[in-house]
Amino acid sequence: MSSLSNKRIILGVTGGIAAYKSAEVVRRLQDQGAEVRVVMTPAASEFIRPLTMQALSGHPVHSDLLDSEAEAGMGHIELARWADLLLIAPASADFIANMVHGRADSLLGAIHLATPAKVAVAPAMNQAMWIHAANLANIETLQQRGVALIGPDEGIQACGDVGPGRMEQPDTIVSRAGSLFQNGQLAGKKVVITAGPTREALDPVRYISNHSSGKMGFSMAAAAIDAGAEVTIVCGPVSLPMPERCDVISVVSAADMLEASLASAADADIFIAAAAVADYRASTVAKQKIKKQDDSMTISLERNPDIVSAVVQANPTVFVLGFAAETQDVETYARDKLQRKNLGAIIANDVSRTDVGFNADENEVIWIDRTSSVVFSKRSKAQLARDIIEHLAKGLPN
């Protein structure tokens, strides 16, 4: 599986003759499994028509900062949150300067300022512009801020000059974009992640469960894999395609998940409890389908085993990251769970909101450990998972 598989990429296209290569970049990104949305500056539209990019990407091209239709649908803030990577190719000298100064007078500029995603630029300009001290200072500033530089290439330019400044070839740009997600921060670590809901049977056809989709757990797995970890997912019943490049153990009930978790965590370095485990199960499971007879019925429930506590007790050297899905007093309940279960850290989120949490593609959470807390504002679950894994990796002992 490509490191760009299922990644969400905004391709920013600025003005310059190299914009014709951007069409091929879209194709190459899609070949690697990425979903691409194109944002063009007005100058870019003079070199390649938006209709071309729309046909290739399969999505409307965004270009106007003040677009009432876009702001009602996917406006610049929504686009910024949607992305896993903002790739600007070509990036003109003018737009690079605007990035340095934080200008938001274009849609692409506003997205650059608002996105929590990775940012990369593939410069394209005349060789004299490239080597000018002002431009090189701008490039250095962007790199210091964490913006990845792809290229430029050297050779004959459209104006006839020869030298550095040509935009890199599409294959090289896409390859470098993929490498941005492979950081090696968890190289040599074994990570076990629980994901999805559990189902607690009432009879052969009915069960108790919850709304967990497994998206957050699967995103955590993808982020850990990109960070170089050996990953095992203990997964309850979900409707998602199973991730690649990791071991998947499918379970149904909390008892099943407990058994698989304890076995997998025995030689793990990190255990991430992202599953939404049912707190209770039926005291007695009917062997035959329960027939509808009375106007009401009573079901006797008993507590399920506490998986994360059992893992902590059995594996005192494993770093355990818990999750707290709450509908009120989110941080208070999360801190109590952190202390009571002796976790290394906990991720708290408000599942009463319909725009984040269960079944949503985005989330907004608080990382809480024993000495600090960090708020991760609303962003895609994929980007959030990478941010959490990066934060976790920085706090692990060498």
Token pair for 79: 């686009």
| Number of neighbouring beta carbons within 10 Å of residue 352 | 13
Does the pLDDT value for residue 356 go beyond 80?
no
6 confidence band (pLDDT: 50, 70, 90): confident
Q: Measured between alpha carbons, how far is residue 280 from residues 108, 274, 333 in Å?
A: 49, 18, 19
Paired with 306 in beta bridges are none
Token pair for 103: 């200008």
Mean pLDDT of 82-95: 95
Cα gap 139→76, rounded to integer Å: 24
Task: State residue 153's pLDDT score.
Answer: 86
Mean pLDDT of 1-16: 86
Does the pLDDT value for residue 398 go beyond 70?
no
Task: State residue 233's pLDDT score.
Answer: 97
Task: State residue 316's pLDDT score.
Answer: 94
Most confident of 87-96, 159-168, 385-394: 87-96
Task: State residue 395's pLDDT score.
Answer: 80
Task: State residue 121's pLDDT score.
Answer: 98
Q: Is the pLDDT higher at 183 or at 230?
A: 230
Token pair for 18: 């190299």
Mean pLDDT of 318-327: 91
In the chain, the percentage of residues whose pLDDT exceeds 70 is 96
H-run or E-run covering 377: strand 373-380
Does the pLDDT value for residue 158 go beyond 90?
no
Task: State residue 74's pLDDT score.
Answer: 53
Phi and psi at 60, nearest 5°, equal -60, 145
Mean pLDDT of 215-236: 93
Cα gap 236→253, rounded to integer Å: 7
Mean pLDDT of 373-398: 87
Task: State residue 196's pLDDT score.
Answer: 94
Q: Measured between alpha carbons, how far is residue 217 from residues 93, 133, 154, 332, 388 in Å?
A: 41, 46, 43, 23, 12
What confidence tens digit (pLDDT) does each residue in 18-77 have? 999 999 999 999 999 899 999 999 999 999 999 999 999 999 999 887 665 554 445 678
Task: State residue 357's pLDDT score.
Answer: 63
Strands (E), 124-227: 148-149, 153-156, 162-166, 190-195, 200-201, 207-208
pTM above 0.75, yes or no: no
Q: Measured between alpha carbons, how far is residue 61 from residues 56, 75, 139, 173 in Å?
A: 10, 12, 27, 21
Domains annotated for the chain, with CATH where assigned, are 8-179 (3.40.50.1950), 190-395 (3.40.50.10300)
What confidence tens digit (pLDDT) does each residue in 102-130 have? 999 999 999 999 998 999 999 999 999 99
Range with the lowest mean pLDDT among 9-23, 121-135, 183-197, 345-359?
345-359
* Max Cα–Cα distance, the chain, nearest Å: 87
The catalytic residues are 159
Question: What type of residue sits at position 8?
Answer: R
* Span between the terminal Cα atoms of the chain, in Å: 29
Q: 22-31 and 170-179 are packed helices; what angle lies between their axes, rounded to 10 degrees?
A: 50
333 confidence band (pLDDT: 50, 70, 90): very high
**Surface-to-core class of residue 58, CB atoms within 10 Å of its CB (0-12 exposed, 13-18 middle, 19+ buried):** exposed
